[in-house]
Amino acid sequence: MITVEELEGKQAITWCTGCGNFGILAALKKAVIELDVPRHEILLVSGIGCSSKAPHYINLNMFHTLHGRAIPVATGAHLVNPDLKVIVNTGDGDGLGEGFSHYIHAARRNVNLAVFIHNNGVMGLTKGQFSPAAQRGYVSITSPPPGAPMWPINPVALAIAGGATYVARGFSGNQKDLVTLMVEAVQHRGFAVVDILQPCQTWNRKLTWKFYNERAYSLQEEGHDPTNKMLALEKSFEFGDRIPVGLFYRSKLPDLASGLALPKDSRLRDHETDRALLQQVVNDLIL
Ligand SMILES: Cc1ncc(C[n+]2csc(CCOP(=O)(O)OP(=O)(O)O)c2C)c(N)n1
Ligand code: SF4
Ligand SMILES: [Mg+2]
């Protein structure tokens, strides 16, 4: 069994004090321990943003790729080694802006990935510009008063409508439930999303710890039925005095890999690497 000490990342954490990312990282470590699989069977993939730095802070195999491109990279890693548990750490700017078409198509394809959206309603790393998940009226350097003139994207509703087969919302201030959702998402076979409410202490003055603590309630404590797609969609539009957190929707459908009829020897991990050929490819790219 992996210990929390073994999961300690080697890099110094650069997140601001009080950032919601700390709660997500702590929950991710607990989830990995609870999953109880050998560490080489887990891969973390991220794009660009404060949130996308999370894989640097946990001692697991990781791939920090380009802005918005975590899902296609994760899809490739999954298809060449379907035994891997591939987790995507993305932000609302990264995954719902630049990378949004990948999100919706991966949902449609039911790719066997667990996608954790660190949703702070802002582009934190680049200094607080409004993101696709920013609240209407959010004032920032790129949305001067009266603020962002459009409504925020709804990653839960879009994942359900798009075809995802596990769709949940967590809150970085509720460790216990967040760990459960993360474990379930990784164990689920198909496209699993956990939209994680995550205060950005430095830039977002509206979506704060207080805001969420006063509003977040548990869907499961209120007896929500996650097999009812229409009810899940209806619940996904509730965002006001009360904000539902927990599992919205779960279903069982064939995932992408099971529909591809891949030959048995197609797993790249089972092939010897032809180093001369690899060098040739690299040379061709450079020249
Ligand atoms: C192709 C490209 N476009 C834009 C950027 C600049 N950029 C870096 S991070 C980022 C926003 C990240 O926002 P989000 O995913 O919400 O992450 P957060 O910092 O809020 O966690 C942007 C626009 C980039 N690095 N690459
Ligand atoms: S800018 Fe916001 S999201 Fe980024 S580390 Fe600081 S508090 Fe966290
Ligand atoms: Mg963000």
Ligand that lies nearest to the alpha carbon of residue 70, given by its number in the listed order: 1
Q: Which helix (H) or strand (E) holds 194?
A: strand 192-197
Is residue 281 in some structural domain? Answer: no
What are the beta bridge partners of residue 249? 167
Is residue 8 in some structural domain? Answer: no
Query: What total number of domains does the chain contain?
Result: 1
Q: Whole domain around residue 247: which residue ranges?
A: 21-261
> Cis omega before residue 146 (within 30°)?
yes
Report the sign of the C-alpha dihedral through residues 64, 70, 72, 78, in that order: positive
* Phi, psi of 202, deg, nearest 5: -85, -40
Is residue 119 in some structural domain? Answer: yes
Contact 82, 111 (CB under 8 A): no
Is residue 271 in some structural domain? Answer: no
Is residue 268 in some structural domain? Answer: no
DSSP string, 117-181: EEE-SEETTTTSEE-TTPPTT--BTTB-TT---SPPP-HHHHHHHHT-SEEEEEETT-HHHHHHH
Give the domain CATH number at 246: 3.40.50.970
Q: Which of 40, 32, 208 is nearest to 116 (CA)?
A: 32
Is residue 202 in some structural domain? Answer: yes
- Å from CA of 52 to ligand 1 middle: 9
| Site residues for ligand 1, CB cut-off 6 Å | 48-51, 67, 91-94, 118, 120, 122-126, 131
Ion ligand 3 residue ranges (Cβ < 5 Å): 91-93, 120
pLDDT along the chain (287 residues), means of 10: 93 97 98 96 98 98 97 95 95 98 98 98 98 97 96 98 98 98 98 98 96 98 98 98 98 94 70 87 87
Is residue 149 in some structural domain? Answer: yes
